[in-house]
A and B are shown apart, each in its own frame.
Chain A
Amino acid sequence: MSQITPEVVAAHSITPDEYERIVSILGREPNITELGIFSVMWSEHCSYKSSRVHLKKLPTKSKLVVQGPGENAGIMEIGADAEGNPWCIAFKIESHNHPSFIEPFQGAATGVGGILRDIFTMGARPIAVMDALRFGPLDDPATGARNRRIVDGVVHGIAHYGNCFGVPTVGGETVFEPSYSGNPLVNVFALGVFRKDQIFYGKAAGIGNPVIYVGAKTGRDGIHGATMASGEFTEESKQKRPNVQVGDPFMEKLLLEACLEAMQTGAIAGIQDMGAAGLTCSTCEMGSRAGTGIEIDLMHVPQREVGMTPYEIMLSESQERMLLVAYKGREGEVLDVFRKWGLDARIVGEVKDDGMMRVRDHGKIVAEIPSRPLADEAPLYHRPYSKPLRTAPMEAPAFASKDLTKDLYTLAGSEDLCDKRWIWEQYDYMVRTNTVQGPGGDAAVMRIKETGTSVAMSLDGNGRYTYLDPREGAKLMVAECCRNLAAVGAEPIGATNNLNFGNPERPEIMAQIVEAIEGMAEACAFFETPITGGNVSLYNETLGDPIFPSPVLGIVGLMKTQMPAGIAFREAGRDIYLIGGIGAADEVRMGGTQYAKQVIQQLWGLPPRLDMTFEKKVQGAVREIVAGGFAESAHDVSDGGLAFCLAESTFGNEVGAAIELDSTLRPELLLYHEGPSRVVVSTSDAAAVERIAAAHGVPAVKIGTTAGSELVIRNRGEVLIETGVRALKQCWAAALENKLHAEVHA
């Protein structure tokens, strides 16, 4: 067996202090297998050692929260079926950023696979997936070709896995920034439904109960994936391709059906998927949660390759595997179900009362570690933090538009704002026939057949805002996510977050993390959307260049099952209202907008100003208008400002609009500022819209009418924008594909 030298310890990304702690937990030096086990369990990815002290600031409770952070996914109650049985949803977001850079197709595919297992390991059937994607620019002379390859691979990977598994991919967002060139983000959100009395937990309960391994065989893939995801990218990272796992969605589909069927037998005491850190993580976490220990013998673990060492078997991240604990004497019922589905299922060990994770290989002990310290007593770091990293100036550059209509074309044809149909048409967004509103709207809406209600969901994040001001940017993210739900008539109830940041050992990056978490905590408490779980992805840096601080939030809400209004104007002659009013803006707060990015091509100043109390009122009004059926369309004003919001509203049915504004703002700000708390609504019942807005104490400004096939925007009689809808729509619709297929001649 290998000698444990300081070099070996360092190669496992374990610091000398952490090593001492390991020695004191064990009361002796670890062997190489044990060192490997500690290294993955105490990796940033598995232990949240840099973020945990701050994550505690997030609100996690409400009367609907059944399970908060700490399990495989958060669970919330959503209502009862016809027989009065309460139903729940399980949801969570997870990142697969590092693997998706190294091997985009498999990295993204296994990202989908991992989060799906988190959902169905709790007993819920996944009914929706969404993705937040961040890539480098497609037309950059130096990195464009690679970025385009990554986009193609990631989208193909998500499609491959989700489509074959049979879960609809119903929404998400895709943003392009140079800081993601060497570090794309792939954050996958999944949501499942189940009856409240059918929840399963990852607990190894019941001394003497057999521990059963099910699913794919263990191979050498993905060894140290979690450790890789906890370090920066260097030139050597490109050599880490074998660390990326390979996914098999067909196997996962069988595993889903077999697990849900096996759970029905009543013979399962606990179950957990093998995700990051594989067999190691599931073994020690299940024991730790139940206050028990698990003893396994690796000779029983189904293996894909010969000659695997205990180290390799314990650290493998082969996909599509589960560990479950059956009630003693009833293991046959469980094994029968897996046999029916043609899956490997082997008894590999049993639950013990001594709190130890004991691993044998043909009887010989190869690792023996107390479960709880391993799972729950990873070192916690109070990393020092200073002021958040930013180099952008506060002051605005001088800017004046030459042609406001041309600016709108620039925005519509930009990577960030253009039509993402090329991406989402590759996803089966309808399978299981629950999709009431799929991709392309403000929020996705899934009906729950069993309860007659629907769940709305939205993913959001704006790295430019968070870069300019992590605290305010995070609040704006929460507000926008909730506003998206209001625009489909849903009431937000809970959230999951994915915190994507750079290297936390740098105080200026740690400051971004701390401020963003605190801002999110404040806003989530205010909007009553507790965080029920999530994921932290740090060290998103390549050669010392960090990504923009990029928290991503997924919010879910409830609504009655009905067709939402949708964002598209339906017919000419309808009144158009701006609920929330024109809003305030100034040059400094234009610095994070899409106008600044696409037209002026600079970044400065501050994100838009948010008044959370006002925002909440606007959302209340919009929700009531939309849920009451008084809106023919509703679309929140966000990236690209009012002008782009109106443009997008004209695209769906190619119904134009004649807009008359009355504002003292200069035109660039009036059209393109991104102040929050605003939603554009078209209606045939103006009185109802005005009445509801007044009741909520928010302005409902009539800004025009839907009309013809042109979009014309005037301010106090002066024409600011005038264009045919079809021409603008073509620019918007064709942009992504044109950029993806462009040959860049550097």
Chain B
Amino acid sequence: MKFGVVVFPGSNCDHDAWYAASHNIGHQAEYLWHSDTDLRGSDCVILPGGFSYGDYLRCGAISKFSPIMAAVKKFAAEGGLVMGICNGFQILTECGLLPGALVRNRGLKFICKPVRLQVGTTNSPFTSAITPGSELTIPIAHGEGCYIADDRTLDELEAEDRIAFRYLDNPNGSLRDIAGVLNKERNVMGMMPHPERATEPLMGSSDGLGVFHSLVSAFATHK
């Protein structure tokens, strides 16, 4: 399986996603430059964490105009697997691939710490390898991770089983404790916690492996 990790100017978890996919999961991983339009045969595109274009406007607001995102949108429309982590999640909501928005944390401060998550659904290519209902410890590191959407959208997400992860001790004020969501077609997921930072014991947790293993098995079945 081949992971493509998009590098925007200001991405800073690109290396971490690349390292997790290639080193800790043992699959191919390649960087994709923001001004390119070629996904180089990626089977799954990761939009990594960071501060794309400095995030001086609204997080992810500039990235959605980058040439690579046009290719990513097309890829997603054709059923390709797209995962946005942290800043990547913000970009996915900005460009409309996922509903809702991410705003300043309730406490107005950047927070970096491991948090407890509950998997919301295992019916997705991002979570299928995780035991239903299980609790994971995965770090967050964000200043703008408070997930918001209108009630109707939130109801719809719940009704359609599209909440990938929920916080057990909501750190940022996200509505309905939402930490990660899926699109309607279930091939695009965004999450604020960093699964790539929890892929080996030395990182303090290996609970993020579940996400990558799910992707790998989804790809194997699909193929």
Which A residues form the contact surface with B (CB < 8 A)?
Answer: 156, 159, 163-166, 248-251, 253-254, 341-342, 424-433, 435-436, 447, 449, 561, 563
Contact A432 B10 (CB under 8 A): no
Segment at the interface with A among B69-77, B124-132, B195-203: B195-203
CB-CB under 8 A for A166 and B12, given A250-B51, A430-B141, A430-B197? yes
B54 at the interface (CB under 8 A from A): yes
B15 at the interface (CB under 8 A from A): yes
Q: Which residues of A contact B156 (CB under 8 A)?
A: none
23 contacts across the A-B interface (CB closer than 8 A): A156-B109, A159-B110, A163-B112, A164-B12, A164-B51, A164-B54, A165-B12, A166-B13, A249-B51, A250-B9, A250-B54, A250-B55, A250-B56, A253-B12, A342-B9, A424-B112, A425-B112, A425-B113, A426-B112, A429-B112, A432-B15, A447-B202, A563-B201
Contact B54 A248 (CB under 8 A): yes
Q: Which residues of A contact B50 (CB under 8 A)?
A: 166
Contact A431 B13 (CB under 8 A): yes
Q: Which residues of B contact A436 (CB under 8 A)?
A: 202
Interface residues of B in 97-124 (CB under 8 A from A): 109-113
Q: Give B134-172 as 1s and 0s: 1 = Cβ < 8 Å from A's Cβ atoms.
A: 000001010100000000000000000000000000000
CB-CB under 8 A for A431 and B202, given A164-B55, A425-B112? no
B16 at the interface (CB under 8 A from A): yes
How far is B109's CA from A341's CA once the two chains are assembled, in angstroms? 30
Contact A254 B10 (CB under 8 A): yes
Q: Give B49-68 as 1s and 0s: 1 = Cβ < 8 Å from A's Cβ atoms.
A: 11101111000000000000
Contact A428 B10 (CB under 8 A): no
Minimal beta-carbon separation of A262 from chain B (angstroms): 16
Contact B10 A250 (CB under 8 A): yes
Q: Which residues of B contact A563 (CB under 8 A)?
A: 201-202
Q: Which residues of A contact B139 (CB under 8 A)?
A: 430
B19 at the interface (CB under 8 A from A): yes
Q: Which residues of A contact B9 (CB under 8 A)?
A: 250, 253-254, 341-342
Q: Give B1-38 as 1s and 0s: 1 = Cβ < 8 Å from A's Cβ atoms.
A: 00000000110110110011000000000000000000
Contact A430 B112 (CB under 8 A): yes
Contact A433 B203 (CB under 8 A): yes
How far is B54's CA from A165's CA once the two chains are assembled, in angstroms? 9
| Known A433-B197, A433-B203; 16 more pairs at CB < 8 Å | A156-B109, A163-B141, A164-B12, A164-B51, A166-B13, A166-B50, A425-B111, A426-B110, A426-B112, A429-B112, A431-B12, A431-B49, A432-B12, A432-B16, A433-B16, A433-B19
Minimal beta-carbon separation of A566 from chain B (angstroms): 11
Q: Which residues of A contact B51 (CB under 8 A)?
A: 163-164, 166, 249-250, 253
How far is B145's CA from A163's CA once the two chains are assembled, in angstroms? 15
Q: Which of B9, B56, B196, B201 has the most CB of A within 10 A?
A: B9
Q: Which residues of A contact B143 (CB under 8 A)?
A: 163
How far is B116's CA from A298's CA once the two chains are assembled, in angstroms? 56
Contact B196 A164 (CB under 8 A): no
